[in-house]
């Protein structure tokens, strides 16, 4: 299990763009699972939308990408590097994410050649998938 301190040692992201609160499982280079607690105090709720706060879909995708980065950057050969989101395919948003939700994040790396890879990610709330898709990344 990785808490905030360990996550910050792996990812360069910081508030308000660090989208992972805890990592519950990591199989280096293969899969990772964790979550983000969605608070009404999130910066993005100030403008999305003031009277109907909904987490922007692109930030759900970013959270999945960060979970993928945790998975890959945990490998010895990639420690200290940065993961870059370079593409997304077959992404679907199925439900809104609201303040008070726990956004569960899971990713499986399906392809890794050199410093380029692909992962399949699922974000869910209360066991229901809210977003899924393929994420492409490069390690630099």
Q: Where are the beta strands (DSSP E) in the chain?
A: 22-27, 31-37, 83-93, 102-113, 116-125, 128-139
3-state secondary structure of 93: strand
Q: Report residue 44: phi and psi, to 5°.
A: -65, -20
48 is catalytic: yes
Distant-in-sequence, close-in-space partners of 82: CB < 8 Å, separation ≥ 6: 12, 139, 140
Choose the catalytic residue: 13, 22, 48, 75.
48
The answer to whether residues 63 and 105 touch, using CB atoms and an 8 Å cutoff, is: yes
Residues serving a catalytic function are 48
């Amino acid at each position: 299990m990785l808490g905030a301190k360990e996550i910050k040692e792996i990812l360069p992201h910081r508030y308000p763009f660090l989208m992972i609160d805890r990592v519950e499982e990591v199989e280096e280079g293969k899969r990772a699972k964790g979550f983000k607690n969605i608070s009404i105090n999130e910066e993005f709720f100030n403008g999305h939308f003031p009277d109907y706060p909904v987490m922007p879909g692109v930030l759900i995708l970013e959270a999945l990408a960060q979970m993928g980065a945790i998975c890959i950057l945990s490998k010895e050969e990639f420690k200290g590097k940065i993961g870059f989101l370079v593409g997304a395919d077959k992404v679907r948003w199925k439900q809104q994410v609201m303040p008070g939700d726990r956004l569960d994040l899971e990713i499986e790396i399906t392809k890794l050649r050199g410093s380029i890879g692909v992962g399949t990610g699922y974000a869910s709330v209360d066991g229901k998938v809210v977003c899924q898709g393929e994420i492409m990344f490069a390690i630099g």
